[in-house]
Chain A
Amino acid sequence: MVMDGESMKVTKKDVEDVAVLSRLAIPEEEKEQYTEQLNAFLEYVDNLSAVPTDDIKPTAHVLQLSNVFREDVVKPSLGRELALSNAPLKEDGYFKVPKILED
């Protein structure tokens, strides 16, 4: 990202970095399009920068939320078989994934 005064420009490198964070592979030929679209989007939402908000608290959630407590009691839950019923790959009651650690 290049900061030149007021405008911020997303670069192809930014798109590649965000794609890695997002676990998305973007084909080379689409990177240009993503860069353009992201820039157009950021230009579009830039009208927010004109709104004075220094003294305004952020609202992440409209409700006045408070912690919810309950007794720690054992209750029925999904059995192992049901919990695994949608697994793309399973073995011996576990989710199976490609090897993570080297031998």
Chain B
Amino acid sequence: MRLFDKPAHVLHDMLVNKEITATELTKDVIARIDEVEGDVMAYLTQTREAALAQAAAVDEKIAGGKVISFLEGIPGAVKDNICTKGIKTTCASKILENFVPPYDATVIEKINAAKPVILGKTNMDEFAMGGSTENSAYHLTHNPWNTDCVPGGSSGGSAAAVAAGTAIWAIGSDTGGSIRQPASFCGVVGMKPTYGRVSRYGLVAFASSLDQIGPLARDVTDCANILNIIAGHDAQDSTSIDASVPDYTKALVADIKGLKIGLPREYFVKGMDADVEKAVRTAVKQMESLGAEIVEISLPHTEYAISTYYLIAPAEAATNLERYDGVSYGERVDGADIVEMMTNTRSRKFGKEVKRRIMIGNYALSAGYYDAYYLKSLRVRTLIKQDFDKAFEKVDAIVAPTAPTPAFKIGEMVSDPLKMYLQDVCTVPLNLAGLPGISLPCGFSNKHMPIGLQIIGKPLGEETILRAAYTYEQSQGFYKEMAELGGKKA
């Protein structure tokens, strides 16, 4: 019996009931990596030996009659922009090619306390800048449903690993859709919690007012369980929210009777793929038939979200990436004096998209243009947030597509960055407003590529969107289907 195609909660029960051991499970997922990783290429670094040792320790604990917690002994993977003590963390950039963090991110400390099996670090767009993982300085990652297609991004490695069965669960980060869009493209569940719900300490900073860490998993139940582990206040992150963490698994109730769900007309944009629109509208009907009240709403400033995001995110990135100066960590390329050394280092070691965004950011922040661009975008950000505030006076949650298209072909968009930015139209508004969102499978395109449904909540409204997502998920079977690569033939 193969194990890699099962969700973590099923495997957890099997471990508790002693039907399997953590070592058997880990070996099965490693075997899966051997079978398909050559086609998918989700990982940048693998930590097999440590993984097997972690599994053996859990087996010993179970044999000793001790109770195990949710992730204990379950193999997963971590995006390579989250610091892991003693394990290389490259951000898929040449500038951090040999960076070995001397500390764990808070989210890793919390996860490690649950004693899972960590299989390695996953591929991504360099510094999380991109929506296809094509901006990795190391290699492409392929979509397990069709290896000619991108897995989405920037958490493309994490999503592809979960979809291919080369990880049972994964951690990603989301600055403008980087968990939700790859989850949508790869047919898995991905959640961006409320800004500040999960500590960012140890997450390599991209755009600090937008970045948030979250889970990618096989189903909503796994997502809720992982959120239980990673959520919470952290004194090391002054922007983390000091609010108590509920038990998110209590929200896994298949009942949305009377729940008011908003359908924002602006999210069904011109140029949206017809299959996506159909799948999402069918899902909305399904939620209505399950007892939800569907309310058409308007978020009038949606059309400005992309421009706003692509000014704010590069401005914050340009500032955050100043630290890569070849002095205290990261690579260095020598030069005649210190300025030349820094310039050589950054010019040779940053990739194209990263440089492009640094240039945009510094331009938007420079004297003379600051008011016209940066400050202007912060004011429009207020309006985008107010749109949501108003909508949430009337509704409990909002549903929308996650991305305007299914996964596109590798190479299809690389020459046109502005077209690529449009991919983010349904996801960036949440980051600008700090809202939680979850993407879960809601159907397939005519080419049998997965389509994601996005459910958006109020600040700290994770329980409501988990409940809505769980109810919808349990009412249909899309989440059960794995990519052919990922388990059908098992």
Task: Please list the residues of chain A having a beta carbon within 8 angstroms of any beta carbon in chain B.
Answer: 1, 8, 10, 14-15, 17-19, 21-26, 34, 37-38, 40-42, 44-49, 51, 53, 56-63, 65, 68, 70, 78, 82-83, 85-89, 95, 97-100
Contact = CB atoms under 8 A, between A and B. Distances in A.
Contacts of B98: 86
Nearest to B431: A62
A34 B382 contact: no
Contact of A53 (B303, B334, B380): B380
B318 A61 contact: no
A41 B330 contact: no
Given A59-B378, A62-B434, A24 B355 contact: yes
Interface residues of B, number: 70
Contact of A82 (B102, B307, B327, B380): B102
Contact of A56 (B100, B303, B382): B382
Contacts of B339: 23
A56 B378 CA distance: 9
B368 A23 contact: no
Contacts of B358: 22, 24
Nearest to B422: A44
Contacts of B355: 22, 24
Given A25-B347, A37-B417, A97-B341, 15 more contacts: A1-B368, A15-B359, A22-B318, A24-B346, A25-B344, A38-B359, A41-B418, A42-B373, A44-B307, A49-B372, A49-B376, A51-B301, A62-B432, A62-B433, A98-B336
Contact of B328 (A8, A51, A68, A86): A86
A24 B360 CA distance: 13
Contacts of B195: 62-63
B392 interface: no
A73 to B, nearest CB: 12
Given A41-B310, A86-B330, A99 B337 contact: yes
Contact of A24 (B99, B335, B347, B375): B347
A22 B359 contact: yes
A60 B209 contact: yes
Contact of B356 (A10, A37, A44): A37
B304 interface: yes
B408 interface: no
A53 B307 CA distance: 15
Given A38-B360, A89-B332, A45 B343 contact: no
B274 interface: no
B254 interface: no
